[in-house]
Amino acid sequence: MLSVKGLKATVDDKEILKGLDLEVGAGEVHAIMGPNGSGKSTLAHVLSGREGYTVTAGSVTFEGRDLLELDPEERACLGLFLAFQYPVELPGVNNTYFLKAALNAKRRYHGEEELDAVSFLRLMKEKLKVLHLDDSLLKRPVNVGFSGGEKKRNEIFQMALLEPKLAILDETDSGLDIDALRVVADGVNSLRSPERSMLVVTHYQRLLDYIEPDYVHVLARGRIIRSGGKELALELEQKGYGWILDEAAA
Amino acid sequence: MSATPQDLPGQPVAEQRSGASRKAAETEAEYGHLVKSEYEHGFVTEIESDTLPPGLDESVIATISRRKGEPQWMLDWRLAAYAKWLEMPTPQWAAVHYAPIDFQAISYFSAPKKKELKSLDEVDPVLLETYEKLGIPIEEQKALAGVAVDAVFDSVSVATTFREKLAEAGVIFCSISEAVQEYPELVQKYIGSVVPPTDNFYAGLNSAVFTDGTFVYVPKHTRCPMELSTYFRINEAKTGQFERTLIVADEGSYVSYLEGCTAPQRDENQLHAAVVELIAMDNAEIKYSTVQNWYPGDEEGRGGIYNFVTKRGDCRGANSKISWTQVETGSAITWKYPSCILRGDHSVGEFYSVAVTKGRQQADTGTKMIHLGKHTRSTIVSKGISAQHGIQSYRGLVRIAGKAEGARNHTQCDSLLIGDKCAANTFPYIEVKNPTAKMEHEATTSKISDDQLFYCRSRGLSEEDAVSMIVNGFCKEVFNELPMEFAVEAQKLLSISLEGAVG
C-alpha cells in the first residue's frame, strides 16, 4: 500500500527527515511515536503533499504510484487522507457544502457520477449513524467556532465520508479530554477495515489504548529508530524515549 | 441636503498594502498559471445602429431630445444641466488613475434601428443570440421565477415584457424615455430630486445627455408582484452609455429591482456614467441589487469600461427602507457610492457590497449614510477582494446630523488580498453631530492562508475550487442579501472572475 524508502526532507534548508523507511500493508494500523521535534508532523505533511517541504532523497510509493509527483488534491483523490492536528477554519463555507464538494471532486476524478444533494444527504445521515454523531456540526461553517473535540470529530467524519485507503491521523489526540478522545477513537475504530490502512501519529501512549496498532515505530532525529508491536508503546509509556535514544546513539 | 462625493475625505485613515517584494516573485509563480482566463463575454454583436457622430454641444443635446420626442421642459432641464456641467471640474479625489477623458471624442447617442417591438419574435435575432451567449436567454428569464426583463441594449430598450401583469397591479415599469412621454408629471416631479444635475461632474453630464434607463413607480400600498430586472449591455464601439434610472415607491409599497450587466471586448475605454435615483415614501421599501461584470480591460488594463456611477436613495418617508446590494467584478475603473439619505424618522439604509479587482482593475467604492431623521438606522457590510495588481479602496461616509436623535450605524469592512502586488485601502469617514448616536465600525484585512488552501486541497479540491470556495465564504453575508436566482448568478460570476484572478 505505502512504501517509504530512504526519505529525506528539508524545511528552510534544515534537514528534518534523514532517511526514513516505512512499509504499510493493506488493513494495517501503524503508530508513529516520538519526542517533540522528531519529524512526525513533517512526515505526515510530506506524505500528503503540503508545500514548503523539499524532498532531497528517497521515494514514496502509494499503490504503485510515485506519490511525490502528485498534487495534494490528486493524492486525496487516490485515497490518501490527512486528519489535521489543527483543523483549519473556513469562514462562511458551510460544512455540508464543503463535504459534498470534496466527495464529488473525488468521484469526478474516478469518472463516477457526482452525487446530487439528496443522495449526498442520505449518505451523510448513514455515516453520522455509524459514528454516533449528531448533525449539529454540519450546518455550521467548516471548523469555525468548533471546540477542540468538535474539530477532531469533524475530521473523523470527513474520513468516514471520503473512505480513504490510507488515513494519516496527525496527533489526533492533542487537545482532547478523555471523553472526546473516546468518541474520536470509537469513530476511527469503526472505520478500520481490511482495505483501509492507518498511520497514527501520536505523542502519547494513551490514544493507543483506544486505537490498537498492529505496529509501533519510534521516530527520532528524522529516522525510525525502533519498530515493534503494540507492547513497544507500553514500554515507551513507562520508560520515556530517553533509553531508546541512548541505545540508538550507542 | 445634498451629499456629494466631494464630501469624502482624501486622507487614508488606514492603509494596508501588501508589499514584500521578496515574496512577489514567489507569488507570481504560485498564482501565475491561474490568472490567464480570457474575458468570457468578449464578443461584439453586429447590429445596425443609428449613431450620432462624436462630440457634445447644445445641438447634440437638442438632437437627443428631439429623437426621444421629449417635451420642452425636459430639453430645458438638459440644457441647464449642460451649462452647469461646463463649469464643473472633473473629480480628482478618488484613488484611481487614468488618462484624461476627451468628452468630445464620445458619441452620445446610439439606437438600434428596429424599435417598439411587441414580442420577442420581433427582436433582432442577433440580439437574442447575444443574450444566449451571455447565458441569459430572455425566454428563460421570463419563465424564471416570474422575472420581468426590460432589456436595455445599447441605449434604447428593445424588449419589455410582463407589462400587463405589472399594469394590473398599477406598477409602472418602462424605459425612462417612455416615462418622459407618458408620465411626464411623475418624472418632472422626481427626476433630479435625489441627485441634482449639480451634484457632481458625471451626474451633470448624465443629466445633459442621458439616453435611456428605467422608470419604476409603485403606487401606494402595493407590493410589486415580481422582481424587476434590467440587463444592460454596452455594444456600440465608442458609445458612452448614460443611463438614468428613477424608482419611486409610494407610501406602504415594496419593490425589488435587479440590475445586471456585461459587455463585449473592445479596444477603447468606454465611459459609463449612470445615475440612479431611488425614492421611498412613508413605510415603503426598495431593494436594489446589482451584479456588474463589464469588460475590465486586457492584462495591461487596456480597453476596459470606466464605470462612474452616481447611485443614491432617499428615504423620504417615515419608516421607509432602502437597501443596496452590489456585486462588482467588472470594469477597468469603478467609482461608485450607492448611498442613502435617511430623511424620514425611523428610516433604514443598508449597503451590502462585494467588489473584486484583479489584473489592472481599480475600484474606489463604498457608500454614504446620511442620517437626518430621528432613530434612523444604517448597516454597511463591504467585502473587497484584490488580486494580481488590483487596487481597491473602500470609501464610506456616515454622517449623523444634529437632529438625528438615537441614530445607529454598524459598519463592517473586510478586505481579502490574494497575492502580494494588490492593494486594499480603507477610507472610513464618520461625522457625528448628535451625542445620542451609536456607531460601530469593524474592519479586517486578511489573506487566503496557505493553511486554508492546503486543507481544501488535502480533501481533493483543486486550488482553483479551493480559492473560489474560500472567497465565496468570505462574501457570504452579502450574497445572503441577494434574491435567490441572483445569488446563484453572483457566485458563479465570482468563481468565473476568480478563475481569471486566482482560481
3-state per-residue secondary structure call for B488-501: HHHHHHHHHHHHHH
**What is the CATH number for A174?**
3.40.50.300
Mean pLDDT value across residues B437-466: 92
What is the band of B111 on the pLDDT scale with cuts at 50, 70, 90? low
The candidate with the shortest Cα–Cα distance to B463, out of B35, B22, B40, B21, is B35
Taking CA A156 as the corner, what is the angle to CA A2 and CA A46, rounded to the nearest 5 degrees?
35
pLDDT: which is higher, B23 or B338? B338
Range of the domain at B257: 41-336
What residues 106-165 of chain A have any CB closer than 8 A to a CB of chain B? 106, 109, 141, 158, 162
- Grid cell listed for B486: 441572483
Return the closest-CA partner of residue B378 out of B422, B348, B414, B358.
B348
- In this prediction, residues B14-43 reach a mean pLDDT of 42
Task: Please check whether residue B393 lies inside any domain of the structure.
Answer: no
Q: Residue B163: in which H helix or E strand, if any?
A: helix B163-169
Tell me if A170 is assigned to some domain: yes
Alpha-carbon distance of A186 to A181, in angstroms, equals 8
Is B214 found in the same domain as B83?
Answer: yes
Least CA distance to B455: which residue of chain A? Answer: A88
* ipTM for the predicted complex: 0.95
Taking only Cα atoms into account, the Rg of chain A, rounded to an integer number of angstroms, comes to 18
Identify whether residues B109 and B26 lie together within a single domain. no
Query: Nearest chain A Cα to B473, which residue?
Result: A92
Mean pLDDT of the A34-63 span: 93
Q: Where is pLDDT greater, at B477 or B126?
A: B477
Min Cα separation A58/chain B (Å): 22
Helices H / strands E in chain B, number of each: 13, 24
Cα–chain center distance at B248: 18
Structurally, chain A folds into a number of domains equal to: 1
Within this chain, do residues B1 and B99 fall inside the same structural domain, yes or no? no
Which residue in A has a C-alpha nearest to residue B452's C-alpha? A88
Element (H, E) at B159: strand B156-160
Window from A13-22, A197-206, B273-282 with minimum mean pLDDT: A197-206
Averaged over A232-248, what is the pLDDT? 82
User: For residue B13, is it within any domain?
Assistant: yes
Calculate helix-pair angle for A148-162, A117-131, nearest 10 degrees.
Answer: 120
Over residues B60-77, the mean pLDDT reads 91
Q: Is residue B202 part of a domain?
A: yes
Q: d(Cα B388, Cα B32) in Å, to the nearest integer?
A: 9
Give the gyration radius of chain B's Cα atoms. 22
Residues B52 and B150 in one domain: yes
**Predicted pLDDT of residue B231:** 52
Chains A, B: CB contacts within 8 A come to 77
Within a domain: B415 = no
Does the distance separating the beta carbons of B455 and A88 come in below 8 Å?
yes
- Residue A12 in contact with partner chain B when CB distance is under 8 A: no
**Cβ B469–A93 below 8 Å, yes or no?**
yes
Q: Do A73 and B463 touch (CB under 8 A)?
A: yes
| In-domain check, residue A150 | no
The more confident residue out of B47 and A110 is A110
Mean local confidence (pLDDT), B190-209: 94
Q: What pLDDT score does B501 carry?
A: 58
Model confidence at B124: pLDDT above 80: no
The boundaries of the domain holding residue A76 are: 2-93+166-249
Residue A130 in any domain: the answer is no
Is B86 in the same domain as B169? yes
Mind giving me the DSSP string for B71-86? -HHHHHHHHHHHHHHH
Length in residues, chain A: 250
Instruction: Examine residue B382 and state whether it is found in any structural domain, yes or no.
Output: no
Q: Is residue B272 over pLDDT 60?
A: yes
Does B187 share its domain with B278? yes
What is the per-residue pLDDT for B50? Answer: 66
Give the distance from residue B20's alpha carbon to the nearest chain A alpha carbon, in angstroms. 18
Q: Which of A107-121, A223-237, B15-29 has the lowest mean pLDDT?
A: B15-29
- E-assigned strands of B337-422? 339-342, 348-357, 362-371, 377-387, 391-400, 408-418
* Strands B156-160 vs B148-153: parallel, antiparallel or unpaired: antiparallel
Asked if A51 lies within 8 A of B475 by C-beta distance, the reply is: no
CA-closest candidate to residue B419, choices B359, B364, B496: B359
Examine residue A55 and state whether it is found in any structural domain, yes or no: yes
Closest CA to B446 of B490, B385, B380: B385
Residue A123 counted as domain residue: no
pLDDT tens-digit readout, B373-414: 999 999 999 999 998 888 899 999 999 999 999 999 999 999
Closest CA of chain A from B494, distance in Å:
15
The lowest-confidence range among A128-137, B25-34, B153-162 is B25-34
Instruction: Name the phi and psi angles at A182, rounded to 5.
Output: -65, -45
CA–CA dist A81, A159 (Å, integer): 7
The residue among B123 and B233 whose pLDDT is bigger is B123
Of B364, B273, B252, the C-alpha closest to B318 is B252
Q: For position A107, what pLDDT does the model report?
A: 95
| d(C-alpha B410, C-alpha B381), whole Å | 8
For residue A131, tell me if it sits in a domain: no
| pLDDT score recorded for residue A35 | 85
Q: Which of A206-210, B28-32, B372-376, B459-463 has the lowest mean pLDDT?
A: B28-32
Please give the mean pLDDT across all residues of chain A. 91
Model confidence band, residue B86 (pLDDT cutoffs 50, 70, 90) = very high
- What is the share, in percent, of chain A residues with pLDDT greater than 70? 100
Q: HSE-up of A127 (CA within 13 Å, CB side)?
A: 23
pLDDT digits (tens, 9 = 90+) for B183-196: 999 999 999 999 99
Q: Domain check: are B6 and B99 in the same one?
A: no
Identify which has the larger pLDDT, A171 or A134: A171
**B153 in any annotated domain:** yes
Please indicate, yes or no, if residue A160 is contained in any of the structural domains: no
Q: Domain check: are B8 and B84 in the same one?
A: no
Q: Which of B451, B456, B458 sits opposite A48 (nearest CB)?
A: B458
Residues of A in contact with B459 (CB under 8 A): 73, 76, 98, 102, 105, 158, 162
Question: Is B230 strand, coil or helix?
Answer: strand
Nearest CB neighbour to B474, from listed A91, A103, A105: A91
Q: For residue A222, tell me if it sits in a domain.
A: yes
The Cα A107–Cα A124 span in angstroms is 15
| Three-class secondary structure of residue B418 per DSSP | strand
What average pLDDT does range B296-307 have in this prediction?
78
Least confident of A203-207, B26-30, B216-220: B26-30
Q: In angstroms, rounded to a whole number, what is the distance separating the alpha carbons of residues A31 and B363?
A: 53
Is B125 within a domain?
A: yes
Task: Look at residue B462 and tell me if it is in a domain.
Answer: no
Residues B53 and B30 in one domain: no
Distance of CA A51 to the CA centre of its chain: 17
What is the C-alpha separation between B431 and B404, in angstroms, rounded? 12
* C-alpha distances in Å from residue A38, one per residue of A171, A205, A209, A245, B481: 13, 16, 22, 11, 50
DSSP H helices, A115-214, are 117-131, 148-162, 178-190, 206-210
Query: Do both B2 and B21 map to the same domain?
Result: yes
Question: Residue B104: what pLDDT?
Answer: 87
Average pLDDT on B75-100 reads 89
Local confidence band at B122 (pLDDT 50, 70, 90 cut-offs): low
User: Is residue B8 domain-shared with residue B146, that is, in the same domain?
Assistant: no
pLDDT at B12 over 50: no
What is the count of structural domains for chain B? 2
Tally Cβ neighbours within 10 Å of residue A141: 18
The tens digit of pLDDT for each residue in A67-103 reads 999 999 999 999 999 999 999 999 999 999 999 999 9
Interface contact A231, partner B, CB < 8 A: no
Residues in A touching B477 (Cβ below 8 Å)? 92
A76, A101, A109 ranked by CB distance to B469: nearest: A101
B237 shares its domain with B306: yes
